[in-house]
Amino acid sequence: MSNDKSLYVAFHGEKLLGRGPLAEVATLCFESNWEDLRTRIAVYEDESGRVRDLNLSGTEEEVLARLSEPTDDKIPEATKTPSVSNGLRAGQAKRGPGRPKLGVVSREISLLPRHWSWLSEQQGGASASLRRLVEMAKKNESTESRQRRVVDAAHRFLWDIAGDQPNFEELSRALYAANITLVETLSSTWPEGIRDQLARYLRRHREAASAAS
């Protein structure tokens, strides 16, 4: 079964096309796009709710081939301090001979020289150390932080696809107030596909609370 972090969900207008790995979802979008060019097709990261832009022009093979191309995403700088680069810019993944493709994404980040110095002294170097730090932070994340991430993801998804649905503003307030019952009530008349994806976020919100008890 696919991990939620690797899942994407696609919509044709308000209709849920499907959910799965990016290649499978892209195929669904390509087929649906040619059936009706007038209706918007939107793809979202299942976990974060972020929009994943797809270029559906050309043949299906060309659409799938473009999925592995680097994006222009960059991690925003947190401060205005001078940056020190590790030599890798966005989309330029460094691989050694025979190194398997592990889904690693290279992006530019900015740190002070003392941060790079500390990281370079750690076992495995800067990249491995950063991954360990991120995993440790996620493991020790508080229930409130986990729930907030779920709420942000749900709102991000809804803002893009359901902004014109009835009770949207009231539902958004209820979502951030963690009034899940009211959220379910206010969305009860919304299109089935949107409610289906929203239910996934609400389930994760409840699971975050259950895990802490």
For residues 155 and 153, give the distance between their C-alpha atoms in angstroms, rounded to a whole number: 5
Tell which phi-psi region holds residue 20, choosing left (phi > 0), alpha (psi between -120 and 50) or beta: left
Candidates 163, 202, 146, 149; CA nearest to 179 is 202
pTM for this predicted structure: 0.70
- What would the mean pLDDT of 14-18 be, rounded to a whole number? 96
* Token pair of 19 as six digits: 């959910």
Q: What is the mean pLDDT of residues 91-101?
A: 42
Q: Tell me: the pLDDT tens digits for 62-76?
A: 999 999 865 544 434
How far is 70 from 107, CA to CA, in rounded Å? 10
Kindly report, residue by residue over 36-62, the tens digit of the pLDDT.
Answer: 888 999 999 999 999 999 999 999 999
pLDDT band (50, 70, 90) for residue 104 = low
Q: Is the pLDDT of residue 85 over 50?
A: no
Reported as a pLDDT band with limits 50, 70 and 90, residue 3 is low
- What tokens were used for 147? 């729930």
Residue 176 has pLDDT above 80, yes or no: yes
The count of other CB atoms within 10 Å of the CB of residue 202 is: 19
Q: What are phi and psi of 65, to 5 degrees?
A: -65, -30
> Sorting pLDDT into bands at 50, 70 and 90, what band is 164?
very high
C-alpha–C-alpha distance, residues 157 and 50, integer Å? 6
pLDDT confidence of 29, banded at 50, 70, 90?
A: very high
- Average pLDDT, whole number, for the chain? 82
90 DSSP 8-state letter: T
**Which DSSP helix (H) or strand (E) runs through 171?**
helix 168-176
pLDDT value for 138: 72
Q: Does residue 179 or residue 134 have the better pLDDT?
A: 179
Overall average pLDDT of the 155-178 stretch: 97
Span 1-19, average pLDDT = 84
Give the helix/strand (H/E) hosting 38: none
Please give the angle made by the CA atoms of 119, 120 and 123, to the nearest 5 degrees. Answer: 85
